[in-house]
């Protein structure tokens, strides 16, 4: 049964498939409930796929606000209503009065949190705001972060724990690029977006450090399409916003949105 499941997922995802399968089986056969840590969209997709195979199990996904990317899951037997369940999410507000936050980015906050020994799974979406950030965190990590997060990229900060109703959501900023490419190959477009040689992008792609729509992708020749979201570990991520036709020389015009 597990081998049959594995056939549908990348080998790097098999460990999560095992964990999610156990959560679903325990809910179905032992009436157990499970509140997970934050899942990325690919993990949420895998979990939903497994839940849909089991008629006696329900699952609720919630990241603290309607458009959340990273979400916690509450898994339970189908007879248990999930709408009123506490998803255990708090808002960690980070602020400083010295004005230096203008130069701080998402990665700075994430790095400071992980530097405290916190697991990535305990952190949801991070919203960079003027003068600070609002970070969604799991309730069991909230007090620790509130007490210990005092510096972000050499900037001294103060923290406060807020209820979800006070969450401020930042708008996603995309820097638009216009590319002229010979094809929609993954390696070629990644190379152009991050201004790396084709040889240099092959190494991280083949090492499993590239994801397309959150799924690990090790094939440099994978054909991208409009709407695809690509992440290259250590470099950032971008979205294929539009394929706008071809030039007179047969090259393709592609609009890219690079996450700031």
Chain segment 89-131, per-residue pLDDT in tens: 999 999 986 655 557 888 899 999 999 999 999 999 999 988 8
Residue 17 belongs to a domain with what CATH number? Answer: 3.30.1370.160
For residues 93 and 159, state if they share a domain.
yes
What pLDDT was estimated at residue 102?
Answer: 55
Structural domain boundaries, residue 126: 89-166
Please name the residues in contact with 245: beta carbons below 8 A apart, sequence gap of 6 or more: 252, 253
Residue where one domain finishes, among candidates 114, 148, 166: 166
Q: Is residue 82 part of a domain?
A: no
What is the percent of the chain with per-residue pLDDT over 70, rounded to a whole number?
Answer: 97
Average pLDDT of the residues of the chain: 92
DSSP codes joined into one string, the chain: -HHHHHTTS-GGGHHHHHHHHHHHHHHHHS---EE---B-HHHHHHHHHHHHT-TTEEEEEE-SSTT-SSBEEEEEETTS--TT----EEEEEEE-SSSGGGG--HHHHHHHHHTTT--GGGEEEEEEETTEEEEEEEHHHHHHHHHH--EETTEE-EEEEE-GGG--PPPP-EEEEEEEESS-BHHHHHHHHHT--HHHHHHHHHTT-EEETTEE---TTPBP-TT-EEEETTTEEEEEEEEEEE-TTSPEEEEEEEE-
Residue 93 belongs to a domain with what CATH number? Answer: 3.30.70.330
Chain segment 209-230, per-residue pLDDT in tens: 999 999 999 999 999 999 999 9
**How is residue 81 written in tokens?**
């209503």
Q: Is residue 141 part of a domain?
A: yes
pTM: 0.84
What pLDDT was estimated at residue 176?
Answer: 93
Residue where one domain finishes, among candidates 119, 144, 166: 166
């Amino acid at each position: 049964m597990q081998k049959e499941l594995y056939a549908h997922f990348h080998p790097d995802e098999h460990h999560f498939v095992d964990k999610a399968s156990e959560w679903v089986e325990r809910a179905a056969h032992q009436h157990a409930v499970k509140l997970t840590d934050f899942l990325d969209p690919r993990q949420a997709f895998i979990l939903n796929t497994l839940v849909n195979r089991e008629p006696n199990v329900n699952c609720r996904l919630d990241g603290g606000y309607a458009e959340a990317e990273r979400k916690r899951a509450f898994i339970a037997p189908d007879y248990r209503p999930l709408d009123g369940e506490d998803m255990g999410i708090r808002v960690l507000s980070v602020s400083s009065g010295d004005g230096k936050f203008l130069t701080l980015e998402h990665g700075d906050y994430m790095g400071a949190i992980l530097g405290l020994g916190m697991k990535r799974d305990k952190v949801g979406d991070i919203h960079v705001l003027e003068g600070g950030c609002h970070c969604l965190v799991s309730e069991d990590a909230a007090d620790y972060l509130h007490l210990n997060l005092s510096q972000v990229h050499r900037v001294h900060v103060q923290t406060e724990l807020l209820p979800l109703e006070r969450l401020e959501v930042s708008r996603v900023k995309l820097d638009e690029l216009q590319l002229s490419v010979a094809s929609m190959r993954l390696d070629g477009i990644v190379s152009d977006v991050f201004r790396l040689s084709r040889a240099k992008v092959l190494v991280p792609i083949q090492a499993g450090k590239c994801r397309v729509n959150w799924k690990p992708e090790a094939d440099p020749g994978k054909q991208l399409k409009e709407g695809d979201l690509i992440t290259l570990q250590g470099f950032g991520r971008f979205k294929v916003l539009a394929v706008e036709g071809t030039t007179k020389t047969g090259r393709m015009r592609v609009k890219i949105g690079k996450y700031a």
